[in-house]
């Protein structure tokens, strides 16, 4: 050590002495670009700390002020919106890269002997990160956040035996209000970050002590008696120091990651705040954040009898499987080329998550709550209709049919589109379907008068591809035969 000043510090801190071997620890040469995802996640976490602390300078964690302070940060504080955008995109990307990191580790067999504990700590890091994502969404304290919280509590309320107690424990009181927000604030800024710091420390320590997984060679099985010896041989003879050789790749990757986050923040902006979290503003259609879209979709599509099990059992089962994974499959083949089931599993998981997320964004199961008064009857279905049929068209609007059924591509998608309903159902079948409902349609029997049903059926009977009386454009009407929508039938004669 030439520099006397540095030497003075070093003789007191012993930094180079203690950290030196760590940052120059040898890594296998096969650790190429595949191994950068962990660093990418870590750098995003550090960035989250910076933007998070900055946001805490103006955020007020109080139920009556939080929303106002968020709007202040977003619309008045200088660059405030950009800070919020960076924080939310940092969070999205952190979840994304952490998932990729996990998949890479899984496919390269890095969770196997002797790195079981590294994997387990990683699973805990994943759980804590998702916890940060959910608590962060709650802190946004807008309508989506408020009702997302309500959904979370409805799930917690399903836990056998302790459900109700648990709900109030999480809420810190009776309802979603001030005490609930501060609990989540404490989790988001103290408890979870501290856990993350601690876990990351252990994770990195293990990475150094147990070494980075060598790129697996297909056909080479793990021998627990000789693995460590062989690995040390490998890195000693043919390895390279992490710093500066392998670190270069990591730094390029982390730089690009942060650049990606900046671009996302610039182009796509912050998330919300989407509306005052006033519970009396009920004319809202809450939607979850990106990571929960798949859960949102699953909960709409599951048969009800499986729901409670899946809401409560699946996370526990998934967590347990992940933690137990190194013990269930701790040895044997490492390479994904010889582990077809693992590859299929990852592909299936990604496909289903992707599909469910996409479906979550489309949410065809959600009624369009304002369709009945806000989406007009298509003009082509007004043209040439009789007075009765026009009343039927009003019934379609007035009775909220449009909330779940599309006409000419507009309206809800919960039920089938009605544009060609008359080619599928005849008059009697239409009446039966309307009166009795079925297949996720409420029975309208009690809610429609006979004249409304008749008018509705008359209108729906004109909705067919082959309606021969469609008037030509230019002239409003054209002669058509008298219509008797329902054949007369006397049951008691």
Partner 1 sequence: MIRVALVIANLALLAACDWMPGKPTAPEINRGNPASIHGFTNLWNVNCQGCHGETGMWGAARPLNDPLYQSLVTDEWLTGTISNGIPGTLMPAHAVSMGGHVTDEQIKEIVEGMRTHWTGTPPSYAAQSPAIINVKAPTGNVAAGLVTFNTYCSPCHGENGVGAMAGSPVDNSFLALASDQMIRATIVCGRPDVGMPDWQGNLNGKPVPQREGLAPLSNTQIEDLMAWITSHRVAFPGQPYSKDGNTSPGF
Partner 2 sequence: MGENFDYKTAPDPAMMGDPSGPEPSRRGFLFWLGAALNAIVGLAIAVPVVGYIISPWKSGGWQKWTPLGNADKYPKGQTRLTSYVNPFRTPWDGYTADTPCYVRRMPSGDFTVFAINCTHLGCPVRWFPESNLFMCPCHGGVYYADGSHAAGPPPRGLYTYETRIKNGELQIKAGRLPTLQQSA
Footprint of partner 1 on residues 367-396 (CB under 8 A)? Answer: 370-377, 379, 382-391, 393-396
Angle formed by the axes of helices 247-268 and 80-107, to 10°?
140
Binding to partner 2, residues 64-103 (CB under 8 A): 64-65
Q: Does 177 bind partner 1 (CB under 8 A)?
A: no
We find the least distance from the C-beta atom of residue 64 to partner 1, in angstroms, to be 14
Binding to partner 1, residues 73-112 (CB under 8 A): 74-75, 78-79, 81-82, 85
Binding to partner 2, residues 127-156 (CB under 8 A): 146-147, 150-151, 153-156
We find the least distance from the C-beta atom of residue 461 to partner 2, in angstroms, to be 21
Q: Which does 172 bind (CB under 5 to 8 A by kind): partner 1, partner 2, none?
A: partner 2
- C-alpha torsion angle, residues 253, 259, 260, 263 (rounded to 10): -170
| Distance separating alpha carbons of residues 242 and 235, to the nearest angstrom | 11
Q: Does 149 bind partner 1 (CB under 8 A)?
A: no
Query: What binding mask, one character per residue, do residues 435-464 give for partner 1 by CB under 8 A, x or -?
Result: --------------xxxxxxx--x------
Nearer to partner 1, 294 or 403 (CB): 403
Nearest to 202 by CA among 128, 133, 254, 124: 124
Binding to partner 2, residues 216-245 (CB under 8 A): none
Question: How many CA atoms lie less than 13 Å away from 401 in the CB half-sphere?
Answer: 30
We find the least distance from the C-beta atom of residue 172 to partner 2, in angstroms, to be 5
Among 17, 223, 420, 428, binds partner 2 (CB under 8 A): 17
- C-alpha torsion angle, residues 89, 94, 99, 103 (rounded to 10): 120
Q: Does 400 bind partner 2 (CB under 8 A)?
A: yes
Is 144:285 a contact under the CB 8 Å cutoff?
no
Binding to partner 1, residues 213-272 (CB under 8 A): 265-270, 272
3-class DSSP assignment, residue 483: coil
User: Of 5-13, 207-215, 234-242, 343-351, which part binds partner 2 (CB under 8 A)?
Assistant: 5-13
| Distance separating alpha carbons of residues 458 and 479, to the nearest angstrom | 18
Binding to partner 2, residues 410-429 (CB under 8 A): 414
Among 33, 165, 248, 483, binds partner 2 (CB under 8 A): 165
Q: Which does 82 bind (CB under 5 to 8 A by kind): partner 1, partner 2, none?
A: partner 1
Concatenating the DSSP letter of every residue in 159-176 gives STTTHHHHHHHHHTSSSS
Binding to partner 1, residues 44-73 (CB under 8 A): 67, 71
Residue identified by tokens 């006979």 is 450
Find the angle CA(109)-CA(112)-CA(117) to the nearest 5 degrees. Answer: 125
Q: Which does 444 bind (CB under 5 to 8 A by kind): partner 2, partner 1, none?
A: partner 2
Nearer to partner 2, 167 or 322 (CB): 167
Cβ of 399: how many Cβ atoms within 10 Å?
16
Q: Which does 477 bind (CB under 5 to 8 A by kind): partner 1, partner 2, none?
A: partner 1
Backbone angles phi, psi at 332, to 5 degrees: 75, -145
We find the least distance from the C-beta atom of residue 456 to partner 1, in angstroms, to be 10
All residues at 6 or more sequence positions from 173 whose CB lies less than 8 Å from its CB, including other chains: 179, 180
Chain-centre distance for alpha carbon 242? 35
We find the least distance from the C-beta atom of residue 269 to partner 1, in angstroms, to be 3
Q: Does 402 bind partner 1 (CB under 8 A)?
A: yes
Nearer to partner 1, 222 or 458 (CB): 458
Among 4, 304, 476, 479, binds partner 2 (CB under 8 A): 304
Find the angle CA(417)-CA(420)-CA(424) to the nearest 5 degrees. Answer: 100
We find the least distance from the C-beta atom of residue 265 to partner 1, in angstroms, to be 6
3-class DSSP assignment, residue 240: strand
Kindly state the number of chain residues that form the binding site for partner 2, as judged by CB under 8 A. 74
3-class DSSP assignment, residue 251: helix
Give how far Cα 81 sits from Cα of 54, 59, 259, 265, 272, Å: 12, 13, 17, 9, 10
């Amino acid at each position: 050590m030439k520099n006397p000043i540095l030497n003075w510090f070093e003789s007191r801190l012993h930094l180079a002495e203690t950290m030196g071997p760590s940052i120059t620890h040898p890594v296998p040469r096969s650790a190429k670009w595949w191994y950068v995802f962990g660093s990418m996640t870590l750098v995003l976490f550090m960035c989250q700390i910076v933007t998070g602390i900055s946001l805490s300078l103006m955020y007020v964690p109080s139920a009556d002020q939080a929303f106002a302070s968020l709007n202040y940060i977003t619309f008045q504080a200088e660059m405030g919106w950009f800070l919020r955008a960076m924080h939310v995109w940092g969070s999205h990307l952190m979840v994304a890269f952490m998932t990729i990191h996990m998949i890479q580790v899984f496919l390269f067999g890095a969770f196997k002997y002797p790195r079981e504990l590294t994997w387990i700590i990683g699973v805990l890091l994943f759980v804590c990160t998702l916890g940060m994502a959910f608590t962060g969404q709650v802190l946004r304290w807008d309508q989506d956040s408020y009702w997302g919280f309500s959904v979370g509590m409805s799930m917690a309320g399903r836990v056998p035996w302790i459900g109700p107690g648990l709900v109030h424990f999480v809420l810190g009181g009776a309802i979603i209000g001030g005490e609930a927000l501060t609990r989540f604030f404490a989790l988001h800024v103290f408890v979870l970050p501290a856990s993350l710091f601690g876990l990351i420390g252990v994770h990195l320590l293990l990475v150094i002590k147990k070494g980075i997984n060598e790129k697996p060679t297909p056909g080479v099985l793990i021998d627990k008696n000789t693995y460590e010896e062989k690995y040390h041989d490998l890195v000693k003879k043919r390895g390279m120091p992490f710093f500066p050789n392998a670190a270069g790749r990591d730094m390029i990757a982390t730089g690009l990651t942060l650049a990606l986050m900046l671009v996302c923040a610039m182009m796509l902006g912050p998330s919300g705040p989407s509306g005052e979290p006033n519970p009396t503003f009920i004319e809202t259609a809450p939607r979850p954040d990106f990571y929960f879209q798949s859960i949102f979709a699953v909960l709409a599509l599951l048969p009800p009898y499986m729901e409670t099990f899946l809401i409560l059992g699946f996370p526990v089962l998934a967590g347990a499987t992940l933690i137990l994974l190194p013990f269930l499959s701790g040895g044997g083949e490492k390479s994904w080329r010889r582990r077809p089931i693992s590859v299929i599993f990852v592909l299936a998981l990604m496909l289903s998550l992707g599909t469910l997320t996409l479906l979550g964004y489309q949410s065809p199961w959600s009624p369009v709550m304002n369709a009945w008064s806000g989406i007009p009857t298509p003009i082509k279905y007004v043209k040439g209709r009789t007075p009765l049929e026009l009343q039927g068209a009003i019934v379609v609007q007035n009775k909220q049919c449009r909330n779940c059924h599309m006409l000419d591509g507009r309206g809800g998608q919960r039920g089938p589109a009605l544009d060609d309903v008359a080619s599928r159902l005849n008059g009697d079948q239409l009446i039966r379907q309307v009166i009795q409902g079925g297949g996720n349609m409420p029975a309208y029997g009690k809610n429609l008068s006979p004249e409304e049903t008749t008018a509705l059926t008359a209108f729906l009977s004109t909705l067919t591809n082959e309606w021969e009386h469609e008037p030509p454009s230019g002239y409003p009407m054209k002669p058509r035969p008298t219509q008797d929508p329902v054949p007369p039938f006397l049951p008691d004669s």
